[in-house]
Amino acid sequence: MLNKESTDQEIWEEITCGSLKAFNLLFDRYWDTLYTTAYSYLNDQDACVSVVQDIFTNIWIKRKTLSIEFVGQYLKTAARYHIYKEIKKLKSVKVVYSTTIERSHEDDNNAGEHKLIGQDLESWLDLQLSDLPTRCQEIFRLSRKEGFKNEEIAEQLGISKRTVENQITMALQHIRKNLKNITFSFIVLSLLSQ
């Protein structure tokens, strides 16, 4: 019997069988989180309600064909997708011609998109760093994310300044190599889609 203590996976299994009770449990469990996430990017109550409703509507409609292993992660990804869609829709607002010059609100309209892109880049960087040895990760984070100077890192970790420099160089080479791979893949995909 499903209740508020049921796991996401138990709830999802019941949803795939058509259980409205399970769907309502999932809806109640994640509505606030998804709405808050959308609002942090869109700052528009109606748009946020629409985003969250779209997510849950799609889940219900596609419940028999979706294969979801981690419900929370799936919903987070779905929220990002719908937020991107909403931001694109907001960008395609009709142009109104005026005889007066007004301040452009382009930066305001792009704030949510810039925030999402920044978070995606931060996640990608963390993923790249996870491939490196623990000490190298630690040194890179102290240098680039926390702003410590090489001498300070060396003193804090009890290693030589040269070791710090070598570890940072190794991390940057690894990141550049993987960035080149992504850039190449992106170019190939964009050429194939034309």
- pLDDT > 60? residue 154: yes
- As given in the structure block, the two tokens for residue 62 are 């596609």
Confidence band of 183 (pLDDT split at 50, 70, 90): low
Rounded Cα gap, residues 79 and 186, in angstroms: 23
- Note the pTM of the prediction, 2 decimals: 0.48
pLDDT attached to residue 14: 92
Mean of the per-residue pLDDT values of the chain: 80
Specify the pLDDT at position 182: 60
Average pLDDT over residues 46-71: 90
Per-residue burial over 135-172, b if 16 or more Cβ lie within 10 Å, else e, is: ebbbbbbbbeeeebebeebbeeeeeeeeebeebbeebe
C-alpha neighbours within 13 Å on the C-beta side of residue 49: 3
Burial class (CB in 10 A: 0-12, 13-18, 19+), 81: middle
DSSP letter at 72 equals: H
Place 184 in a pLDDT band, splitting at 50, 70 and 90. Answer: low
Please, are residues 12 and 82 in contact by the beta-carbon 8 Å criterion? Answer: no
Question: Is the model's pLDDT at 9 over the cut of 90?
Answer: yes
Per-residue pLDDT at 99: 47
Q: Which domains does the chain have, with CATH numbers?
A: 8-91 (1.10.1740.10), 110-192 (1.10.10.10)
Q: pLDDT tens digits for 113-139?
A: 667 766 777 777 777 788 889 899 899
Higher pLDDT, 116 or 141: 141
- 131 compared with 180, residue with greater pLDDT: 131
The winner for highest mean pLDDT among 28-42, 75-89, 127-141 is: 28-42
Which has more confidence, 90 or 169?
169
pLDDT of residue 159: 92
Q: Read off the pLDDT band of 190 (50, 70, 90).
A: low
